[in-house]
Amino acid sequence: MRADAERNREAVLRAAGRLFDAADDPEQVSMDAIAAEARVGKGTLFRRFGDRAGLIRALYEERAERLRTSLAPDPTRSPLENVTLLMTATLRFKTENRALARALENQGGGSPYTNAGYDHWHRQLAELIAEARGPEAADFLAHALLAAVRSDLVAHLDDWPAERVRAGVATLVASVVGQPTARPAPPDTADHPQPEDAGTPRHA
């Protein structure tokens, strides 16, 4: 990659980041505006990132990388704790990157579900859920958890105190993943044996 190419790529990403962060509605941020902010021709944007969705994805991935690496499930913690950690971090990320996340989820080429990142989180959650309450509906429940922190919902709850949203997520997680104790849960899982009617396998 030629030097000017790399330089421009960086300039574009930073410019886009600035504009999305400043915008309320991601649709306000046009490709022309990004090009102008980056002091670069529009052709450069499209050559590098393919299309609008590609640029958004690239920027999002860049920011989400830190998250992903810091959130590998910790085997010394219970599934409930791991899921809570993961969901809380995601919630925070979505809050801090509102416009960008909305751009990714609502336009990034149709659905949020075609993005590379989604599969990663979904798989991780599904595994933890399966570990906690059996594989029964783990796949769907993982989707449901992720849906509960979709960026436009988070945006919609903007006027709630942050703590209230966080508590809501925690309650949801507790309900779905393990036996409730609405708060962060003591490390021992043996606490509330799960109802055992047939058909619902459980962890050892």
Q: Which does 52 bind (CB under 5 to 8 A by kind): DNA, a copy of itself, none?
A: DNA
Among residues 39, 103, 82, which one has the least CA distance to residue 178?
Answer: 82
Interface residues with DNA (CB under 7 A) are: 1-5, 7-8, 27, 30-32, 39-44, 46-48, 51-53
Q: Which does 163 bind (CB under 5 to 8 A by kind): DNA, a copy of itself, none?
A: none
Q: Angle at CA 77, nearest 5°, toward 172 and 112? A: 45
The backbone torsions φ and ψ at residue 76, rounded to the nearest 5 degrees and listed phi first, read -80, -10
Shortest spacing between CB 188 and a copy of itself, in angstroms: 16
- Closer CB to a copy of itself, 35 or 128, in the complex: 128
* Contact (CB, 8 A) for 178 and 80: yes
d(CA 23, CA 204): 49
Shortest spacing between CB 10 and DNA, in angstroms: 10
Shortest spacing between CB 98 and DNA, in angstroms: 18
* Alpha-helix runs per DSSP H in the chain: 3-22, 31-38, 42-49, 52-70, 79-96, 98-106, 116-133, 138-147, 151-156, 162-177
- Closer CB to a copy of itself, 35 or 170, in the complex: 170
- Closer CB to a copy of itself, 36 or 157, in the complex: 157
The tokens for 76 are 């010394």
Interface residues with a copy of itself (CB under 8 A) are: 25, 106, 110-113, 136-137, 139-141, 143-144, 147-148, 150, 152-153, 155-157, 164-165, 167-169, 171-172, 175-176, 179-182, 194-195, 197, 199-200, 202
Q: Which does 41 bind (CB under 5 to 8 A by kind): a copy of itself, DNA, none?
A: DNA
Lookup result for tokens 């075609």:
114
Shortest spacing between CB 115 and DNA, in angstroms: 15
Among residues 132, 97, 137, which one has the least CA distance to residue 117?
Answer: 97
The residues, any chain, with a CB within 8 Å of residue 156's CB and separated by 6 or more, are: none
Shortest spacing between CB 73 and a copy of itself, in angstroms: 21
Q: Which does 47 bind (CB under 5 to 8 A by kind): DNA, a copy of itself, none?
A: DNA
